[in-house]
Chains A and B, each alone.
Chain A
Amino acid sequence: MLKLNNLCKVYQTEEVETTALDNINIDIEKGEFVAIMGPSGCGKSTLLNIIGMLDSPTSGEYHFLGDEIAHANEKQLANIRKKNIGFIFQSFNLIEELTVFENVELALLYNDVPSKERKERVTRVLDKVGIAHRAKHMPSQLSGGQQQRVAVARALVAEPAMILADEPTGNLDRAQGEEVMDMLKKLNEEGSTIIMVTHSPSHADYARRTINLFDGQVVTEMYRAAE
């Protein structure tokens, strides 16, 4: 699915240069469930963002579905992104001014899905994450767990090949966190590639492979045997 070769990311600020990612080499196959772990500031989010094409690497190669895209421009990236990748964030990132339904619909809107089909798909996916009864509510009227379910629905609705989740359970309590993890697991079983950043070892256990980062470098990769 994707392949990173000698990937580096250096942040240049006024005083200091931060090497957030240092020579990363990772291969991820289609249908994998990968967890990324590591202490705060080790570069997890940076890595996920680059994989998600929200940011570009400073050097190195990034092959996505066979194409080298490390130096593609924002427009090309936007195009690949909207067809293939769904995002889930720790802080949900729902648009406050739009209803639950509209938030989910947005992903289809930018993929030029006709209105009738949009409606069907949004309804179906809201049903799937169990939030259909709140479709007309505004995000601010939902609990954190409910908001994250909406975010999951939004990530799913365009049926992307790959879902990226940056600490999806970070703002949730234990029960809510389990719920979201169960959802991700189910998605993976249905064929989605999932890459997830997490601080929680128990949540990382849902994944088939765990990548440990330290100071921008991959320190260990650990496979879990199939259950």
Chain B
Amino acid sequence: MFNNYILTALRNLHRHRLFSAINIVGLAIGLASVILIILFIRDEVGHDQWIADSDRIVRVHMSYVPRDGQPFETVRSAGRISEAISNDAPEYVEDAVRLIIGRSNLIRNGQSFSELVFYGDNSFFNVFDFPFLHGDKKTAMADVDNVVISEKIARKYFGRTDVIGETLTFCCLDDKEATVKISAVLKDTPKNTHFNVDIMLVIEPNRFAFAPNMLDTWTSVNVYTYFKLKDASDIAPFQAKIYDWLNERSMFKERMTEGKVTDAFKYKVMSIEDIHLKAIAHSGNMGGIKALGDIKLIYSYSSIALLVLVIACINFMNLSTARSNTRAREVALRKVVGASRSQLATQFISESIFICLTSFVLALAFVELALPFYNDMLGKQLGLDYGNMGFLSMLVGLSVFVGLIGGAYPAFILSNFRPALILKANQSSQQGGSNRIRAYLVVFQFAASICLVICTAIVYSQTNFARNIDLGYNVTGKMILRNIGAGGGNMDSQALKNRLLSLPAVTNVTYSSEVPSDDNNNNTGFKRLSAGGVDGAMNEQSILNYHSVDFDFMETYNIKTLKGRAFSEEFPSDTANPPENEDEIGTGAIMLNESATKKMGFGSPEEAIGQMVRASIFRAGDADMTIIGVIPDIYFRSIKFGIRPSVYFRRTDRFRNATIKFTTNDTAALIEQVEQVWNEVAPMVPYRYEFVNELIDAQYASEEARFNLFIVFSILAVIVACLGLYGLASFTAEQRTKEIGIRKVLGASVSDIIKLLIWQFSKPVLFSNIIAWPAAYFLMKDYLNTFQYRIDLSLAYFILASILALIIAWITVTWHAAKVARAKPINALRYE
């Protein structure tokens, strides 16, 4: 019996080649889209789940909401929080670890390499039970001079992995060259995690002597704090306990002048399994250790993929029911000879499952073809793992499910035909109902397609708009030298600057702690020293982001001063100086951006000039600094991060980058000339250069990739919808041949007939706007609201998308209509 079904199915596929091709290819595109998205989602959702006990490891995220001001949120925390919470909640905490991440230069055979370095408390491997290749977690971080490295690093520097006992030299840890001993080698960790440790050093307070607010602080948030709880169910009570501690037993309580601590200041707990996709909500504008995922992206990709699949399924249903009329006679005859309704239904459903499985095989081929491009776009290494039977059978299951859904309705329609009705001469087998349902489904397909086109156009415009917004500074003709100050005391920055300035192409050289596009986690409290003097109240200080910049930084980047003046060599007091003794206070001058003046409560930039501010920016203690100038809000990082209220001062020991402003087009020669100078001034430090405009572009690369993907899926949706329309149009033209013939006999011209058919298919497309417009409007309103600066939601996008859909539909239909309309009328009527 089953053989019989398959044989009939094959015969039918062959007889209706056009429909079969549209069905199979359309479904394959739909299934391939879904498979690609599933691969992406599996990877995104699976982040960090491979870590042992991932369900009971959490990280705390700080959030500070001043009573009247912008909230300050970060996934980092203050150095003393880990110990304090562990002591307060021993019933929940099994262990805790702090993590600090930075760059350092690894020196090997007279060469030096910049590497990302992790510092962790020696409890790190108790919390993160990573598998070791050599060594074990007990001894790995036992000694301050230990270093744990990954398999990858071992291979890179030693060419082998059994390197326990070997040494690595860094320059510099705490401004000194330091040699550490390899105590263990980790297996390389999978990429789907929120951090990959390659070099792990032990947090040793002396190593952070240069950064006083790194460890011994309640307020500066520079470390990542993880807790391993005793049980996964402890997360909620642990969170409650932290709030309780903040409000009742923490030192924050004394600092609050009124209200509860948690009204303004919180530590929120998040499971590490959620970090990749959900930490973005807690990260303020500072991001995470690696680029974070976004649950919204998952939602939007999934919905698009699902739409493509649904559109393909609709084609499937439409073409099958449309075709069913041509098979109605066959069905009627089968019934007459005794086939039962369920037998017929089984036959049609098997047929559609057969089509789906064929599509599935084709879809796998599409996926394999698309994967290299897809991975490139996403920066991932996704692949179809044919060994994973569970996953594979899930995909097969999906196809069969689609076949059932797609086949059930046609099967129902077909098996329900009443033979008497059909066999009666001159009776139309067409059932009005199934015709109408087909029209609704086409409306839905086009609504989805139009909605996608509108969204794509708006997302594109917004992305474009964001890319062309005035950042507030000039990005062209600027080269960055990294690794400034990396040589400890050995690098003579003044000499470097002078030598660079003597190059003919170079017009300015300036130093700074960060350059545009760099993330920075320098945030600390700044207090206004107004008439009321200083008091310790928490909510009177503003947490601001700060940068160290050299005298001519503003000039080099063409940042104009709104009020006051920029730093200048003429004023020795413009340089920040630490206090010389315990009970003294340091001095200096600061510039603010406009947001910072607002955050500090100044009515206008003028009001801020000349005011004093106190902040703890030195290890030695506080410094009181004069506000000398205000600059506009510049977009130091991607505009998606918005503007951070920022403070600028000149602290020469924090300079890490040089910006070279140049006037040549021959950048290759410039790179060489600068390298020569560098090698003379700082031979032991790696030469690492970048260009500001490239850094800025790179910030948008991942967004552009995501956007491109969005476009690809939208186009697929439209193609599949058009495939369906094409099939349906050709079917309808065929079905209406007789009617068209009659109309022609009565005098209808070719253009009358084309108009007739085009109108038939324009109606659903026009109707679909009624659904598409509001849907796109609400989706895009939401989307645009996430941007501080955004384009208007203009009607033009809606109208253009609809016209586009109409034109595509017309092109699809006209070809067929013209063919049918031009035929001699007798051809249509002959065999009546």
Q: Which residues of A contact B (CB under 8 A)?
A: 49, 52, 54-56, 74-75, 78-79, 81-83, 87, 89-97, 106-107, 110-111, 140, 154, 158
**For chains A and B in complex, what number of residue pairs have CB atoms within 8 angstroms?**
64
Q: Pick the contact of B829: A93, A96, A111 (CB < 8 A).
A: A93
CA distance in complex: A96, B421 (Å): 14
Interface pairs A-B: 3 shortest CB-CB: A82-B747, A110-B747, A54-B826
**Known contacts A54-B826, A55-B826, A110-B752, A78 near B428 by CB under 8 Å:** no
- B residues 712-748 near A (Cβ < 8 Å) are 738-739, 741-748
A78 in complex: contacting residue of B426, B427, B738, B744, CB < 8 Å: B744
Give Cα distance in the complex from A81 to B742, angstroms: 13
Q: Which residue of A lies closest to B829 (CB)?
A: A93
- CB pair A93–B832 under 8 Å, yes or no, is yes
Q: Which residue of B lies closest to A151 (CB)?
A: B742
**B781 an interface residue at 8 Å Cβ cutoff?**
no
Inter-chain contacts of B428 with A (CB < 8 A): 96, 140
**Residues on B with beta carbons closer than 8 Å to the beta carbon of A92:** 426
Asked if A93 contacts B747 (CB within 8 A), the reply is no
Question: Known interface pairs A54-B825, A89-B829, A140-B427. Does A95 touch B747 (Cβ–Cβ under 8 Å)?
Answer: no
CB B516 to nearest CB in A, in angstroms, measures 67
* B42 lies within 8 A of chain A by Cβ: no
Assess A74 versus B746: contact at CB under 8 Å? Given A93-B829, A93-B832, A97-B739. no
Q: How far is the CB of A105 from chain B (nearest CB, A)?
A: 10
Smallest distance from the beta carbon of B755 to chain A beta carbons, Å?
12
**Which residues from chain A contact B741 at a C-beta distance below 8 Å?**
93
State the CA gap A95–B742 with chains docked (Å).
8
In the complex, B51 has a CB within 8 A of chain A = no
Q: Which B residues are in CB contact (< 8 Å) with A52?
A: 745
- Cβ contacts under 8 Å, A75 to chain B: 749-750
Which residues of B are found within 8 Å of A154, using beta-carbon distances?
746
1/0 contact string of B697-721 vs chain A (CB within 8 Å):
0000000000000000000000000
**A-contacting residues of B (Cβ < 8 Å)?**
426-428, 430, 738-739, 741-750, 752, 822, 824-826, 829, 832
Distance, CA A55 to CA B825, complexed state (A): 8
A82 touches B746 (CB 8 A): yes
Q: Can you name 5 extra interface pairs (CB under 8 A) apart from A52-B745, A74-B822, A93-B829? A: A49-B826, A74-B750, A91-B832, A106-B742, A107-B747
Cβ-closest chain B residue relative to A87: B745
Contact assessment for B742 and A78 in the assembled complex, using a CB-CB cutoff below 8 Å? no
Chain A neighbourhood of B743, CB < 8 A: 95, 106, 110
- Chain A residue nearest to B428 (CB atoms) is A96
User: How far is B739's CA from A78's CA once the two chains are assembled, in angstroms?
Assistant: 16
* Alpha-carbon gap, A49 to B742, bound state (A): 13
Of all chain B residues, the one with the shortest Cβ separation from A80 is B747
B739: A residues at CB distance < 8 A: 95-97
What separation, in Å, do the CA atoms of A95 and B829 have in the docked complex?
12
With A91-B426, A91-B832, A93-B829 known to touch, is A54 a contact of B824 (CB < 8 Å)?
A: yes
Which residues of A are found within 8 Å of B832, using beta-carbon distances?
89-91, 93
Give complex CA distance A107, B742 in Å: 10
> Could you give 21 example pairs across A and B, Cβ below 8 Å?
A52-B745, A54-B825, A54-B826, A74-B824, A75-B749, A78-B748, A78-B749, A81-B747, A92-B426, A93-B741, A93-B829, A94-B742, A95-B743, A96-B428, A96-B430, A106-B743, A107-B746, A107-B747, A110-B746, A111-B747, A140-B427
A110 to B829, CA, bound (A): 19
Secondary structure type dominating chain B contacts: helix
Contact A78 B829 (CB under 8 A): no
Note all chain B residues with C-beta closer than 8 A to A96.
428, 430, 739
A contact residues around B746 at 8 Å (CB): 82, 106-107, 110, 154
Known: A91-B426, A95-B739. A78 touches B747 (CB 8 A): yes
Determine the distance from Cα of A56 to Cα of B826 in the docked complex, in whole angstroms.
10
* Contact partners of B822 in chain A: CB under 8 A: 74
Please tell me if the beta carbons of B824 and A110 are within 8 angstroms of each other in the complex.
Answer: no
Chain A contacts for B829, CB-based, 8 A: 54, 89, 93
Asked whether, in the complex, the Cβ of A110 is within 8 Å of the Cβ of B738, the reply is no
**What A residues does B426 contact at CB under 8 A?**
91-92, 140
| B824 contact set on A, CB distance < 8 A | 54-56, 74
Contacts of A82 in B (CB 8 A): 746-747
Q: Which of B430, B744, B822 has most chain A Cβ within 10 Å?
A: B744
Cα A91 to Cα B745 in complex, Å, equals 14
Cross-chain contact A110 with B826 (CB below 8 angstroms):
no
Q: Specify which chain B residues have a CB less than 8 angstroms from the CB of A81 in the assembled complex.
A: 745, 747
Q: A56 CA to B746 CA in the complex, in Å?
A: 17
Once bound together, how far apart are the Cα atoms of A71 and B742, in whole Å? 22
Max chain A Cβ within 10 angstroms of own Cβ: one of B738, B742, B744, B824: B742
**A94 to B427 Cα, complex, angstroms:** 11
Within the assembled complex, what's the spacing in Å between the Cα atoms of A106 and B427? Answer: 21
Of all chain A residues, the one with the shortest Cβ separation from B745 is A87
B748 touches A93 (CB 8 A): no
Cα–Cα, bound, A97→B829 (Å): 17
CA distance A140 to B743 in the complex (A): 18
The residue of chain A having its C-beta at the shortest distance from the C-beta of B749 within the complex is: A78
In the bound assembly, the distance between CA atoms of A149 and B824 in angstroms comes to 26
Bound-state Cα–Cα, A49 to B741, Å: 13
Chain B residue with Cβ nearest A93: B742
Q: Which residue of B lies closest to A104 (CB)?
A: B746
The complex places the Cα of A49 from the Cα of B747 at a distance, in Å, of 15
Which residue from chain A places its CB closest to the CB of B426 in the assembled complex?
A91
Name the distance in Å between B771's Cβ and chain A's nearest Cβ: 26
Assembly CA distance A190 to B241 (angstroms) = 105
Which of chain B's residues have a CB closer than 8 A to the CB of A56? 824
User: In the docked arrangement, what's the CA distance between A213 and B750, Å?
Assistant: 33
**Separation in Å of the A110 CB from the closest CB of chain B?**
4
Q: Which residue of B lies closest to A90 (CB)?
A: B832
Q: How far is the CB of A99 from chain B (nearest CB, A)?
A: 14
Please indicate the chain B residues that have their CB under 8 angstroms from the CB of A97 in the complex: 739
- Quick one: which of B747, B822, B825, B832 has the most chain A CB within 10 A? B747
> Is there an interface contact between A54 and B745, defined as CB atoms closer than 8 Å?
yes
The residues of B that contact A107 with a CB separation of less than 8 Å are: 746-747
Q: Assess whether B738 is in contact with A93, with CB atoms less than 8 Å apart.
A: yes
Taken together as a complex, chains A and B put the C-alpha atoms of A82 and B749 apart, in Å, by 10
Q: In the complex, how many angstroms separate the beta carbon of B169 from the nearest chain A beta carbon?
A: 87
Across the interface, name the chain A residue whose C-beta is closest to B825. A54
Which residues of A have CB within 8 Å of B430?
96
- Chain B residues lying within 8 Å of A94, measured Cβ to Cβ, are 742
A52–B745 CA distance with the chains assembled, in angstroms:
9
Bound-complex Cα distance A111 to B742 (A): 15
Q: How far is it, in angstroms, between the C-alpha of A54 and the C-alpha of B823 when the chains are bound?
A: 10
Q: How far is B748's CA from A94's CA once the two chains are assembled, in angstroms?
A: 15
Contacts of B747 in A (CB 8 A): 78-79, 81-83, 107, 110-111, 158
**Minimum C-beta distance from A11 to chain B (A):** 11
**Once bound together, how far apart are the Cα atoms of A78 and B65, in whole Å?**
80
Residues on B with C-beta less than 8 A from A89 are 829, 832
Would you give the shortest CB distance from B56 to chain A, in whole angstroms? 67
Interface centre among A83, A94, A97 (most CB of B within 10 A): A97
B-side contacts of A55, CB under 8 Å:
824, 826
- Give, as a whole number of angstroms, the nearest-CB distance from A90 to chain B: 8
